[in-house]
Structure formats: C-alpha cells, structure tokens
Amino acid sequence: MKNEPLRVLFVTTEAYPFAKTGGLADVSASLPRALLKTGVDIRVIMPLYGSIAKDGHKIKKAAGPIRHKFSGRIFGFDLLSNSDDGILTYFIKNEKYFARRGLYGTSLGDYPDNALRFGFFSKAALAAAETLKFKPHIIHCNDWQTALIPFYLNFVLNNDDFFKGIKTLFTIHNLAYQGVFGKIFTRGLGIPAKFFNADQLEFYNKLNFMKSGISYADSINTVSRKYAEEIMTPEYGCGLEGLLAARGGDLSGIPNGVDYKEWDPRNDKFIKENYSPATLDKKKACKKDLLKCIGLDFPQDRPLIGYVGRFAYQKGVDIIAGVAAHMRELNAAMVILGKGDAEYKRLLKEIARKYPENIRITQVLDEELAHKIEAGSDIFLMPSRYEPCGLNQMYSIRYGTIPVVRATGGLDDVVVDFDDDRYNGNGFKFIPIDSAACLRSVKRAIMYYENSEVWRKLMLQAMKCDFSWEHSASEYVKLYEKMTE
C-alpha cells in the first residue's frame, strides 16, 4: 500500500456547484480539491437530483444501467460523471428517488421516503465502486444520509471480496440531523430485525441512521475541535453523547477550511470591487453596491450588519430578530439572507416591516448576494446555539467584516475576542443564548466601529488570518493513513 496513492471515495449528498443547501456542499467541493493536491486519488459520489441537469451542468454517462443484487434484492441505477473542475464526481441517477427539485424535501417538509432514498444512495455508492473497479482504501461518509455504509460493509457485504479491508471514516457535520425514521423502513433498507435494539440502530423505538455511522465506522470525526468535545456532553450530544463518549478514542475534530478561490475579496467575482488589506478603502464601494442591491437608502458611514444562513433554531434566528429590533436606536442597519422555517420567516418579516429604514430581508438561495453581504457589511452576526464548524465567520474574517458570534463549536475555535489593550483578536464573542447578550456584543463592536482608526486595525488584523484547507487536508491525510496502517 505504501507505494500507491491513497484511494478515497468521498460519499456526500451535496457538493457545490451541483447541489447546495448549506456548508456540507462547500466542504464537499473544497476538501476533495485540497486532498487531490496532496496526492490522494479521490472520487466524489452524490445523487443526481433533478435540479442538477436543469441548472445546466455538463454530466456525461459513466456506466449503466447498473443492476445490483443487495440483500437478495435487485436494484438499478445509472452512473454519470463530471470532471470539469479537476475532481472526478460521480452521480447516481435514479428517477424514482432523485428526479426531484429538492434535495431533502420541499417548503412543506422533508420527503417522507428519505430513509429509502438515502439508504438506496448508500448501497448504490458501494455498487458503483465495485462496477468501476475502484477499490478505495477509505470510504469517507458524510452525515446521516451516508451513515448506513459502515453498517452495510460490516454486516451485509462482509463476505464480499471486493469490499474486504475497506475502512470507513464517518464525518459528523451536524449531529442534530440524525436521520430518525419509523421502524417500518428497516426491511426495505435490508437491516435484519436483530439490529433493532438500543445497543445498535434503535433510538426510542425508531431507526437512527446516525447511530450506524457512529457505531460501525472505523473512525469518526467532526468539523471543529470544540464541537468534538461538546458532542460528548448532554447539552450538545442530542441523545447520542453516551455512544460518542464510548467511541471517544476514535473521535477527533478536524476544522473545515475555506476555499479562498471562491471566498476572498481579492478575487471574488461577485463583488463590486476587489480589495485586499493594501486597498481596503475599496470595501466602501462594496458596501454602497450592497445597499443599492437590497434597496436600502442608509448612510454609508453607519454600521451595516449582515447575516447569511438557514432560518433554523440552531442559528439563533430569534436572537437575530431580537437584535434587529434595536437597529433604529443604534442608527445601524441589517441585511439578512436566508431560507428556512416558516415561524422565523414570519418573525423576521414582521421586524423588517416595522423598521423599513433599517432592515432588509431576502428569502431565497442567492450565492451572489451572499458574497456581496460578506464584502459589503461591516459586521457579521452568528448567534448560533451550536455550530459544528460554521463557514461564514471564516469568510467574514477574510473580508474584513468583523464577526459577532456566540462562543460555541467552530465559532469559538475561530473567533478571538477583540482585546483593545493588546490589540489582539478578530471579532467579538458572547456566551449566554439570548438577544441581550448578543446585543451587548453588537454594541461593543459598534463602539469600536465608531473609532475608525481602531476599526481599521481590527479589519486588517482579521484579514491576515488564514483558514485555508491545506492544513486541515493534511490532518485528514494523517487520519486516513493511520486508519490504513
């Protein structure tokens, strides 16, 4: 093995630019790219959603139709591929499960057959590797959707020569989404009844995909050091803290990095003017452009606070709304971009209606506007209840857009609270989960913003921080190598 490159099959359910609902898509695009640079022979595999062809991505046929026998049942799919960006990405095509616009559901909720959809995807990813005769050293599984793969390898394909010796790494990008489904699905997924008990895949009389990943993968990791510690506690463990602690010896935290090809004001293709620490004044043109784009007539010299992210409980959207209600008295403005839960949409819309001179909300997925917000805002808000890693705080720091964050998970690892004695730090942090604490931090940030000399130093200091993937990719390589020893 020593003389051949490490072969890795990276199994994911979203990857930018093909399909994206959140950070997993960014990671699934940039980590494989960084691993490829280290010499790893990496292939990515994901479902072919209906949206991918409609969005005009060039996909060509790789194999198929493939008919595969799995737990005594035959199932079929086609395999397509794309390698435009240097990464060989395979797509599993199956009309019944994936020819839908949404990845996981619609605005009304999750698709009711998600257990079967992603169980199918996991089996198909394994079948595809065999069809392609690509025997990886490591199958790198991501989140609950791919968590049955270690189970299938250990208990269904254990006598199949092709799969012998393959190791699995299970990466938890978000422990709160575990893939919990009715017991009824076990049969369709090829899971024998004897595994349906609390020590294995059962979770309060339901089937829990995530338990399979945690229990049966050879190694487990999550996407920041702090979150790796947090998930072994009842506060953050979502009911799986005991299981995670029991596997603590195989659990590590490897922070996500930033793809600076996409997220750097020096070369960002979406923003009005590119800038760097040497040309920081050009950031003002980005602010002006952002205000124009969102139709907000607001003084250029007053603070503009940005937020981009899912409208979800995790993200503290209620806390954001609580802070937004103070924008007028602070003579500040807020721009919010996101999609998600109806109750938060309502809450934010109501605030925006009340303070039309200070607040704008855009409720779509808009990659371009996300970049404009990073470049054009002065402050970026992330009051997450928990945050496995978080990308936007790292993007903001590179854009000189100072983050105000709750000290949890990757936010706590990345953001260093500004200390004006030593001029140390790149943002502002608070701990209590409430709007009052967040507002105090926002006020602290605005106090410094009003001293343009201090603020400029803080921006320049932040922009020097480097969260590029190279370091994290080398940690993954070390972990892969350790697993294959």
The contact set with ligand ADP (CB under 6 A) reads 22-24, 26, 308-310, 337-339, 365-367, 370, 389-392
Q: In the complex, what is the shortest distance from the CB of residue 143 to ligand ADP, in angstroms, rounded to a whole number?
A: 10
Question: How are beta strands 402-406 and 379-382 bridged, if at all?
Answer: parallel
Q: In the complex, what is the shortest distance from the CB of residue 457 to ligand ADP, in angstroms, rounded to a whole number?
A: 27
Closer residue to ligand ADP (CB): 127 or 382? 382
Q: In the complex, what is the shortest distance from the CB of residue 328 to ligand ADP, in angstroms, rounded to a whole number?
A: 25
Closer residue to ligand ADP (CB): 215 or 392? 392
Measured distance CA(385)–CA(373) in Å, rounded:
22
Q: Helix, strand, or coil here: 8?
A: strand
Q: Helix, strand, or coil here: 331?
A: coil
Closer residue to ligand ADP (CB): 22 or 188? 22
Measured distance CA(362)–CA(201) in Å, rounded:
40
Is-cis flag, bond preceding 17, omega within 30?
yes
Closer residue to ligand ADP (CB): 27 or 207? 27
Helix ranges, 235-337 (H): 241-246, 283-293, 317-324, 327-330
* Closest-approach residue to ligand ADP (CB): 23
CB within 8 Å of 29: residues ≥ 6 apart = 15, 16, 17, 85, 87, 259
Q: What angle do CA 194, 152, 42 make, to 5 degrees?
A: 160
* Two tokens, residue 377: 């805002």
Closer residue to ligand ADP (CB): 179 or 309? 309
Closer residue to ligand ADP (CB): 136 or 253? 253
Dihedral over alpha carbons 463, 469, 475, 478 (to 10 degrees): -150
Best CA proximity match to 394, nearest among 269, 264, 292: 264
Check: CB of residue 122 under 8 Å from CB of residue 216: no
Measured distance CA(325)–CA(34) in Å, rounded:
42
Closer residue to ligand ADP (CB): 136 or 410? 410
Q: In the complex, what is the shortest distance from the CB of residue 373 to ligand ADP, in angstroms, rounded to a whole number?
A: 8
Measured distance CA(205)–CA(257) in Å, rounded:
38
Give residue 242's Cα distance to chain centre. Answer: 24
* Two tokens, residue 99: 């020819």
> Which residues are paired to 377 by β-bridges?
none
Q: In the complex, what is the shortest distance from the CB of residue 16 to ligand ADP, in angstroms, rounded to a whole number?
A: 8
Q: In the complex, what is the shortest distance from the CB of residue 313 to ligand ADP, in angstroms, rounded to a whole number?
A: 12
Q: In the complex, what is the shortest distance from the CB of residue 393 to ligand ADP, in angstroms, rounded to a whole number?
A: 8
Closer residue to ligand ADP (CB): 247 or 310? 310
Residue 97's H or E segment, with its range, is helix 95-98
Closer residue to ligand ADP (CB): 316 or 338? 338
Cα–Cα distances (Å) from 469 to 23, 29, 402, in that order, read 14, 11, 21
Measured distance CA(485)–CA(479) in Å, rounded:
10
Q: At residue 372, what is the residue type?
A: K
Q: In the complex, what is the shortest distance from the CB of residue 410 to ligand ADP, in angstroms, rounded to a whole number?
A: 8
Closer residue to ligand ADP (CB): 289 or 366? 366
Q: In the complex, what is the shortest distance from the CB of residue 171 to ligand ADP, in angstroms, rounded to a whole number?
A: 13
Q: In the complex, what is the shortest distance from the CB of residue 66 to ligand ADP, in angstroms, rounded to a whole number?
A: 31
